[in-house]
Structure 1
Amino acid sequence: MCQANVLFEAFEEARLRAPHMECHTLAALLDCSEGEIQAARLGRGVHSLALTACDLVMMLPQLGQVQMVTRTPHAALSSQLETCRIDADQHHASIRDHQALAMQLLLPCWYWVCLSHERPTPTAREVPCLQVFDRFGRVLHQLYGLTPEAPGWNMLEYFAALRRPDFTHRIDIANVCTRGHRPALLKAWRAMQGPDDFSRLLSRHHLRRVEANRAVAGHFSTSVAPERFIMALAGACRRTQPTRASLIHAGGAHHHRACFRHFHQGRRGILSLESEHLTLSLDSSALHEVWQVMRPGHAGLDTSLEAFDSSGEMMLALDLTETD
C-alpha cells in the first residue's frame, strides 16, 4: 500500500504540473508499469470490473461508438467503431467491422480490466474508458466511449469493484533457431496456409516472430534499413488502394485496412498516420530491426514489412501484398 500511495501521489503531481503527459510516459519515468499506476488509483477514479473477459467482450455493442486502441511500448493502433460483429468463447474473440477491421483477442491474457475516465488524446475531454492489462501490468487494449450516454456504460458501473491486481515481473528469454532445426522450420514455413498455421509454427519451434524472421533470412525474409519502414509509412498516403496496418502482441492482433490521408512527423521522432477511422502512431527512435517477410497464404504469398524494437518486440506491420 505504501508503494501504491507513492505512485498515486506521483500521478496526481504529474496531472497537475504536466496535464498532457500520457500514462505510459509517466510509467517509464517511474520505472513501473501502467497497470501499477492505475491500480494505485483504485477507489480514486478507477474501479476493477467483476466480469469475465468473454462477458465483457459481448457487451461491447452496447457501448455505442467507441475508439479501440491496441498498444505496444512504442506503437499504437486506434480504430473508431460504430457497429461491429463479435464472436467469442472462453478463450478467443474476434471483432470485425465492414471488412476494414479485424481483431483477434486472446482472452486468457486479460488479467485485469479497469473502468475509469481518461482522455483519448492529451487535448480531448475525459470520457469513460476500459483498460485491459496482462499479468505484467502492460496495457493490451484501451477502449474509449465516444458516446458516453450509451446504456452499456451505466451497466458496467454495476460490476465495479475494488479488487486489487497482483502484477508480476516479466523475464524475457530469447531463443535462436539452430542450424540443425532450420530445415524443419523452412519446411513448415513452406507448408503454411494462413495466420493460424504461423502461430502454430512459432509455438512448435519456441520462437518469437523476430527470431523466426531471422531464421528464414535469404528464403522468406530480408533485413531492410529502418528508414525503409518510415518511407513505407509516408508512402501509404500516396496509395490509391487501402493499406492494411497490423499491431500484434501476446494478447492478440489488431488489423485495420484504410486509405491514409495524413502523415505527420512530430517531436521526439513520433510518427503518425491517419485516415477517417484509423490512426497509428510509432516512436521512430525505437526502430531497431525491420524485415520484409513473405508467408504462404490462402491466395498465394503475402508480403509484409515488420518493425521491431531493440528487445525484439514487434512494433507494427504494413501489408505490402496489394499494389496500385
Structure 2
Amino acid sequence: MNFPLESQAQALRDAVEQIRAAEPKARIRAIADRLDVPELALVAAGCGGIRARRLKEPAQDILKELGVLGRVMALTRNQWAVHERHGRYEDVRAGKSMGIALGPDIDLRLFFNIWGSVWAVQEGGRDSLQFFDRAGGALHKVYVTEETDRAAYEALVNRFLDPDPAWPEYGELPPPEATPVTVAPEALRGDWLAMQDTHEFHGLLRKHQIDRLTALRGAGEDLAQRVSNDLAERVINDVAAQAIPFMCFVGNRGIVQIHSGPIARIMRAGPWLNILEPHFNLHLDTTAIAETWIVNRPTSDGWVTSLECFTTTGEMVVQFFGARKPGVPELASWRRLLTGYCAQPLAA
C-alpha cells in the first residue's frame, strides 16, 4: 500500500510495539485511545503485525454478499458493551442510507450515513472484514471461524480489493440530530399511547424534538419507570435462571446488533459482566450505567416492555426485550419479570 505519510505510519507501529511490549494483551481499540488516534489508523498502518487490505466501497455491496461465507462471528460494540453473535448473514437489504439483516442468528439494523472504508484484516492468525466510520472508528467486524467457507472468504476479498488503495482519510463525524426541547411536552403522552409498533418511537422523538431520556422522564411512571442501575445484571441472571428467551441490543451510531434466545452461562470479571454462550457473547461494563429504565410501549400486539441502560451523557449502553417477532404478543414470562421490578404499576 502506498502511504503518503509513511513516516507517521512507522511512528504508529513503533508506539504500538512499545505498548504491547509492556502490555501484551492490550487490545487495539484501547491502544488507539491511548495514542489519541482512531482505530483505523493502527489497522491501515499495519501495527502489531496486522496485515490490512483496503476493499472497494460502498460497504453495502460487500454486506449483501456476506451470506456466501456461511457461519461467521459478527461483532458490534460501543464503548461500554461488546456484542458477538455466530451465524449466517441472511436476508440482507442495504440501501443508500439504511439497511437490515434479518437472519435468525445475525440480526442487524444499519445506518449508512456515517459509514466509511472497509478492510480485510489479518491479525494474530484471525481473518476478518472490518467496517469503519468516516472518523476511523470501528462499526462492525465479521470474523472467519472454523465453520466459515474460507475459499469463499478469499474470493470475496479478492473480488472487492481496491486496485489503488490509499491511506484512509478521516475527520469528525457530523453531530447527532439536534434535540432542542429539554422538557417533554404534554402531547408526548398521547402520541406515546397511540403507538402501534415499537419502531414508531424514533419518529415520536423526532416529532417532539426531544432525546430518548427526556421522553422517558416525562412520559409518566406507568410508561417509563426509573429503576436501580444494578438491574441490568439482575435481569441477565434472572432470564438465565428462569430460561426466558430475551433480546439483547447493542449498537453505535452506524449499526445495532441483536441477539434473540435463551442464555445460561454468566461470568463476572471486574467491571465486565459477561454472557458466554457458544453462539452469543455479551461483554457489558456495568460501571458505565448511569440511568436504567423499564419502558412500556403499546403495539397492535399488546404492550411491549424493555429495560434500557444509559451513560451519564445519555448514550444507550444496552437494551433488553423479551424475545418476540412482529405479530406475536410479548412473552408473559418476560412481562411478569419486568413488572415485578417496578415500584409503580405499568399501564396494561
Short-chain TM bin: 0.7 to 0.9
Query: Do residues 58 (structure 1) and 61 (structure 2) align?
Result: no
Structure 1 residue 83: Cα displacement:
5.8
1:288 pairs with 2:287: no
- The answer to whether the 8 Å contact 1:86/1:93 transfers is yes
- How far the C-alpha of 1:303 sits from its partner, in A, is 0.7
Q: State the match for 2:157 in structure 1.
A: 156
Which segment is superposed worse, 12-21 or 228-237? 12-21
Q: Is the 8 A contact 1:101 1:257 kept in 2?
A: no
Q: Is 1:177 the counterpart of 2:176 in the alignment?
A: no
Specify the code of the residue in structure 2 equivalent to 1:111: G
| 2:24 alignment partner in structure 1 | 19
Q: Which residue is equivalent to 2:119?
A: 114
Distance across 1 between alignment mates of 2:208 and 2:17: 46
- So what's the TM-score if we normalise by structure 2? 0.81
Q: Is the 8 A contact 2:59 2:131 kept in 1?
A: no
1:216, CA displacement in angstroms?
2.3
2:74 and 2:106 in contact (8 A); partners too: no
Equivalent residue for 1:6? 11
Match of 2:35 among 30, 37, 40: 30
CA deviations on 1:213-245 (whole Å, 9 max, x unpaired) are: 233253521111111111112222112231111
Select the residue among 319, 331, 334 that pairs with 1:322: 331
Distance 1:274 1:298, change over 3 A: farther
Q: Give the distance between the partners of 2:41 and 2:223, measured in 1 at CA.
A: 40
Matches of 2:45 and 2:332, distance apart in 1: 48
**1:3-152 paired onto structure 2 within 5 Å:** 3-41=8-46, 45-82=51-88, 84-98=90-104, 101-118=106-123, 126-146=125-145, 147=148, 149-152=150-153
Match of 1:196 among 195, 199, 208: 199
Greater shift in the superposed pair: 244-253 or 60-69: 244-253
**Deviation at residue 126 of structure 1 after TM alignment:** 2.6
Change (3 A) 1:129 1:13: farther
1:174 is displaced (CA, Å) by 7.4
CA distance in 1, matches of 2:138, 2:37: 12
Range that drifts further, 195-204 or 284-293: 195-204
Q: CA deviation at 1:5?
A: 3.6
In 1: Cα distance, 2:182 partner to 2:277 partner: 42
Q: Give secondary structure in 1 for the equivalent of 2:42.
A: helix
Aligned match of 1:212 = 215
In the alignment, structure 1 segments of 5+ residues that lack a partner are 119-124
Alignment partners' CA distance in 1, 2:198 and 2:254: 15
Q: CA deviation digits over 1:249-290, x for unaligned, max 9?
A: 3213222112101110003x1111133311111111211111
DSSP 3-state at the match of 2:196: coil
Matched residue, 1:241: 244
CA change 1:196–1:319 in 2 (3 A) is: closer
State the alpha-carbon separation in 2 of the partners of residues 150 and 178 from structure 1: 53
Q: Is the CA contact 1:175–1:211 (under 8 Å) kept in the aligned structure 2? A: no
Counterpart in the other structure of 1:165: 168
Deviation of residue 68 (structure 1)?
0.4
Answer whether contact 1:48 1:164 (CA < 8 A) is retained.
no
User: Unmatched 5+ residue regions in structure 2?
Assistant: 323-329, 334-348
> 1:197 is paired with a residue of what secondary structure?
helix
- Correspondence for 2:345: none
Shift of 1:35: 2.6
For residue 11 of structure 2, what is the amino acid of its counterpart?
V
Aligned partners of 1:195 and 1:248: how far apart in 2? 17
> 1:64–1:145: 8 Å Cα contact kept in structure 2?
no
Kept in 1, the 8 Å contact 2:249–2:256? The answer is: yes
Q: Secondary structure at the match of 1:150?
A: helix
> What residue number does 1:275 align with?
277
**What's the CA shift for 1:316?**
0.6
Q: Give the fraction of aligned pairs with identical amino acids, expressed as a percent.
A: 26
Per-residue deviation, residues 28-66 of structure 1 (Å, max 9, x unmatched): 322333233323339961122113222111110122221
Q: CA deviation at 1:136?
A: 2.6
Deviation at 1:294, TM superposition (A): 1.2
Cα displacement (A) at 1:196:
3.1
Q: Is the 8 A contact 1:270 1:283 kept in 2?
A: yes
Aligned residues: 315
Query: C-alpha root-mean-square deviation of aligned residues, in Å?
Result: 2.6
